[in-house]
Structures are given as structure tokens and as C-alpha cells.
Structure 1
Amino acid sequence: MASALPEPVARLITAVNSGDSEAFLDTFSPDGTVDDGGRVFTGREEIREWSDAELIGAQTTLDVTADITTGEFTTITAEVGGEGFTGTSHFSFTVQDDLVQQMTITA
């Protein structure tokens, strides 16, 4: 993982790779969102339900191969492993007040 990642994004990736649901959820602001290919999940409980089924529950791993940060916006390219979707995917993050406000996933 690149050292230039904003701390909240780095924490999120570490939490996913270690299978730590609580640490993953703690990276989001209270009204944070996940946009997974147009399906939007808002707030801790909706994000937890999505993650339990499709991210941490699927033992996902993220191997960051590229990243760029401009202000509060970060985009990464990652090789996704696990029991769900695998392959290359792109993740965009909006960070505010040291928390992830939005994570958008596109193939």
C-alpha cells in the first residue's frame, strides 16, 4: 500500500485486509456512504449489512496498485481477492474531518 494515502483510507484498507468489521465501520463518518456500482448504503448499519454480505463477510482483500490524492479526494486501483468479486477495481474516497464521507466502487 502506498504511504501517501490519507490516514482514514489507509485505516479502511487495513481493516478490510484484516477482516475487522468494527475498525472498517469506524473509518466512516456517521452519515458516510458506500456506493457500490450505483447501490448506495448510508450510515453504519446499512454499510455493515453490505459489508457483512459483500466485503468483509466475503473475506475481501485489497492490494493497492495505484493511488492519487487531490485535496479530500483519493482514488485507488486495487486487486481484489476473496470469496466475492475478484479482479481489478477502482475505489474513490471523499475524506472529511479525518473520516471517510463516501466510498465509491467501480469496476
Structure 2
Amino acid sequence: MTDSVDPTSLVHAFVRAINSQDIDAAVDLFVPRGFIDDWGAVFRGHAEIRRWMTTDAIGADARMTILDSSLDGNVVAVRFAWVSRVFTGRSTGMFTVIGDRLSSFTISSEN
């Protein structure tokens, strides 16, 4: 990856990795100490992100669809639909980008 990329392209790459069930691609999008905050449960670092991918996302046959998004600097806010064996519904999320990687993905309920 380059030194700086369009933050929305990283979000779309994350969605493609989830929907194609590519755990390695999804994990590799994050900086080494990046994290996923899934409604308050925090998974920090590649090993814990991989665990979340295995239990709550790709390993649960997740499908993610972005319903709308907005960009503010290096933060992409999304509203998305999620279908899996663990959860099905709509949520909001905030992706934060540092350089050419995701530093965080915070998920909360749709307001």
C-alpha cells in the first residue's frame, strides 16, 4: 500500500474482505495496534482482530452492506446492514485511518 490512501477505499476493502470471507485481508487492513470496538467489546491488535473475525464476522458467515457514509478528514462514518449467525440488523460505525491502514472500527447501534 502507499503512504496515504483515500479513507473510503479502505472501508470498501474491509467490506470486500468480510463479504469474500478473507480473514487475512481484513486483518492486514489494520495497523498492528489497531482495534475493533464492537458495542463496547474491544479487540486490539492483529491477534484479537483475527479472533473477532473468526467468532463474530467471517466465521459467522457475515455479510456487510454500506447503506450510507460520510468522510471527515481521516474518519469515515458509515451506516450499514449486517447479516450473520451472531447478529442481524443495522448499525453505525466509525472507521479511523492512519496513513494506508485502518486504525480502528467502532460499531454501535443505529440511532
Same fold (TM over 0.5): yes
| Cα deviation digits, residues 48-85 of structure 1 (max 9, x gap) | 11110001111111111110111000011111112220
Task: Give secondary structure in 2 for the equivalent of 1:6.
Answer: helix
Structure 1 stretches of 4+ moved >2 Å = none
1:74–1:92 Cα contact (<8 Å) kept: yes
Question: Equivalent residues in 2 for 1:72-87 (5 A)?
Answer: 72-87=74-89
Q: TM-score w.r.t. structure 1 length? A: 0.92
Q: What is the aligned counterpart of 1:68 among 63, 67, 70? A: 70
CA distance in 1, matches of 2:105, 2:16: 15
Q: CA deviation at 1:92?
A: 0.7
Asked if residue 28 in structure 1 is aligned to residue 54 in structure 2, the reply is: no
| Equivalent residue letter for 1:99 | R
CA distance in 2, matches of 1:45, 1:55: 14
CA distance in 1, matches of 2:15, 2:52: 16
| Equivalent residue letter for 1:93 | F
CA distance in 2, matches of 1:101, 1:52: 19
Larger deviation, residues 69-78 vs 4-13: 4-13
- The unaligned stretches of length 5 or more in structure 2 are 1-5
- The unaligned stretches of length 5 or more in structure 1 are none
What's the C-alpha RMSD, in Å, of the aligned pairs?
Answer: 1.3
| Equivalent residue letter for 2:12 | A
